[in-house]
Amino acid sequence: MALIVQKFGGTSVANAERIFNVANRVVETYDQDNDVVVVVSAQGDTTDELIEKAKEINPRASKREMDVLLSTGEQQSMALLAMAIEKIGRPVVSLSAWQVGLMTDSNYSNSRIKRIVGNRIQAELDKHKIVVMAGFQGINKFDDVTTLGRGGSDTSAVAVASALGADLCQIYTDVRGVFTADPRIVPDAVQLNDISYDEMLELASLGANVLHNRSVEMAKKYNINLEVLSSLEKAPGTIVKEANSVEKMLVRGVARDNDIARISLVGVEDTPGKAFQIFAHLAKKKVNVDVILQSIGRDGKKDISFTVPSSQLEATRKTLDENSGMIGAEHIDINENVSKVSIVGAGMASNPGVAATMFEALYDAGININMISTSEIKVSVLIDKPYAEDAVRAIHAKFHLDAKRD
Q: Give the residue with the Cβ less far from a copy of itself, 72 or 370.
A: 72
* Cα within 13 Å of Cα(404), Cβ side: 1
- Using CB under 8 A as the binding rule, whether residue 93 contacts a copy of itself is answered as yes
Which distant-in-sequence residues (6+ apart) come within 8 Å of 366 by Cβ? none
Q: For the CB of residue 82, give the shortest distance to a copy of itself in the complex, in Å.
A: 5
Binding mask 17-36 for a copy of itself (x = CB under 8 A): --xx----------------
- Binding residues for a copy of itself restricted to 127-166, rule: CB under 8 A: 143-145
Q: For the CB of residue 26, give the shortest distance to a copy of itself in the complex, in Å.
A: 14
From residue 339, how far is each of 257, 258, 368, 399 by CA, in Å? 6, 5, 12, 20
Are the C-beta atoms of residues 81 and 6 closer than 8 Å to each other? no
Candidate segments 24-32, 74-82, 236-244, 377-385, binder of a copy of itself by CB under 8 A: 74-82
Secondary structure (3-state) at 264: strand
Look at the alpha carbons of 26, 30, 34, 36 in this order and tell me if their dihedral is positive or negative: positive
Instruction: Tell me which of 5, 7, 40, 98 binds a copy of itself, using CB under 8 A.
Output: 98
* Cβ neighbourhood burial of 189 (10 Å; 0-12, 13-18, 19+): buried
Q: Give the residue with the Cβ less far from a copy of itself, 141 or 221.
A: 141
From residue 98, how far is each of 47, 71, 147, 263 by CA, in Å? 20, 11, 12, 44
- Using CB under 8 A as the binding rule, whether residue 233 contacts a copy of itself is answered as no
Q: For the CB of residue 393, give the shortest distance to a copy of itself in the complex, in Å.
A: 44
Instruction: Tell me which of 66, 131, 157, 362 binds a copy of itself, using CB under 8 A.
Output: 66
Residue count, binding to a copy of itself (CB under 8 A): 38
Q: Give the residue with the Cβ less far from a copy of itself, 68 or 185.
A: 68
Are the C-beta atoms of residues 40 and 134 closer than 8 Å to each other? yes
Q: What number of other Cβ atoms are within 10 A of residue 347's Cβ?
A: 15
Candidate segments 61-69, 164-172, 261-269, 282-290, binder of a copy of itself by CB under 8 A: 61-69
> What is the DSSP annotation of 39-108?
EE---TTHHHHHHHHHHHH-TT--HHHHHHHHHHHHHHHHHHHHHHHHHHT--EEEE-HHHHTEEE-S-T
- Using CB under 8 A as the binding rule, whether residue 65 contacts a copy of itself is answered as yes
Candidate segments 64-72, 194-202, 364-372, 381-389, binder of a copy of itself by CB under 8 A: 64-72
Amino acid residing at 154: D
Q: For the CB of residue 95, give the shortest distance to a copy of itself in the complex, in Å.
A: 9
Cα 340 to chain centroid, rounded: 17
- Using CB under 8 A as the binding rule, whether residue 13 contacts a copy of itself is answered as no
- Using CB under 8 A as the binding rule, whether residue 54 contacts a copy of itself is answered as yes
Instruction: Tell me which of 1, 33, 57, 286 binds a copy of itself, using CB under 8 A.
Output: 57
Which distant-in-sequence residues (6+ apart) come within 8 Å of 184 by Cβ? none
- Using CB under 8 A as the binding rule, whether residue 82 contacts a copy of itself is answered as yes
Look at the alpha carbons of 325, 326, 329, 330 in this order and tell me if their dihedral is positive or negative: positive
Secondary structure (3-state) at 252: coil
Q: Give the residue with the Cβ less far from a copy of itself, 1 or 57.
A: 57
Q: Give the residue with the Cβ less far from a copy of itself, 55 or 221.
A: 55
- Site residues (CB under 8 A) for a copy of itself? 16, 19-20, 50, 53-54, 56-58, 60-62, 64-66, 68-69, 71-72, 75-76, 78-80, 82-84, 86-87, 93-94, 96, 98-99, 120, 143-145
